[in-house]
Structure 1
Amino acid sequence: MNLESPKVTLNKSPQEAFDFLSEVKNFEKLMPENISKFEVLDNDKFLFALKGMPEIVLKKKEAIAPNRIVLGAAGGKLDFSLTGNIIETSANTSDVQLTFDGEFNAMMAMMIKGPISKFIETLVTNMKTAI
């Protein structure tokens, strides 16, 4: 299953956006209002939970400055990745888009597609004010 967030334009250089997303503690500022738990576990790993959902641990898997950062599931039953793609549009602006990739059976994909789409859209929308 592949899902893409809308692109958002930030009044920040690609490097500034990349630096923000490279610090896993900053993801707390991007989370939706219905977050029930957020905990930094390591320099490159954090745990979060949304109300009514299981806890998810994400770990930074890849960082290619200043254009790409990849977070992946760290343990648990689901294997997926969340990729931040950063594209320079001018010296001090950049477009950011999040993509979610995961392998799920048809039933699971049907159940999680809506909530995950809304989640990544919220993350990218909150970047406008958080970065």
Structure 2
Amino acid sequence: MNLESPKVSVAKPASYIFEQLIKVENFEKLMPESIAKFEVTAPDAFIFGLKGMPEIKLKLKEQQPNTRVLLGAASDKLPFSLEAKIDETSAGSSDVQLFFEGEFNAMMAMMIKGPISKFLETLAANMHKL
């Protein structure tokens, strides 16, 4: 299952957005209001929980300076990734888009597609809070 957020423009340079996204504690600023739990468990990992959904642990997997940050599930039970692509559009402005990729059976995919799409949109819409 592949999902993507709308592309959002942020009035910050790509280097700034990249530096903010590789600090996992900053993801708390991007979370929706319905967050029930957010806990940094390691310098490169965090757990979050939204009301009505199971807790998810994400770990920083890859980074390409100023252009890409890849987070992945810390557990192999539900393999998925969350990728942020950063495009500098001018000296003080960048576009950011989020991509979700996961391997789920058809039933699970049907159940989580809507909530995850909304979650991605919220994360992207909150990028200006970094």
Q: Give the TM-score normalised by structure 2.
A: 0.98
Please list the CA deviations of residues 11-47 of structure 1 after superposition, one character each: whole Å capped at 9, or x if unmatched.
0000001011010000001000010000000000000
Give 1:28-67 correspondences, 5 Å limit.
28-67=28-67
Please list the CA deviations of residues 62-108 of structure 1 after superposition, one character each: whole Å capped at 9, or x if unmatched.
01001000000001621000000000111110000000000111111
| Structure 1 runs not aligned, ≥5 long | none
Give 1:9-88 correspondences, 5 Å limit.
9-75=9-75, 77-88=77-88
Partners of 2:114 and 2:77 in 1: how far apart? Answer: 19
Task: Output the amino acid matched with 1:2.
Answer: N
Partners of 2:74 and 2:66 in 1: how far apart? Answer: 23
Task: Output the amino acid matched with 2:71.
Answer: L
Task: Output the amino acid matched with 1:87.
Answer: D
Partners of 2:66 and 2:24 in 1: how far apart? Answer: 16
- Structure 1's consecutive aligned runs of 4 or more residues displaced over 4 angstroms after TM superposition are none
Partners of 2:38 and 2:77 in 1: how far apart? Answer: 19
| Structure 2 runs not aligned, ≥5 long | none
Instruction: Name the % identity.
Output: 64
Number of aligned residue pairs: 130
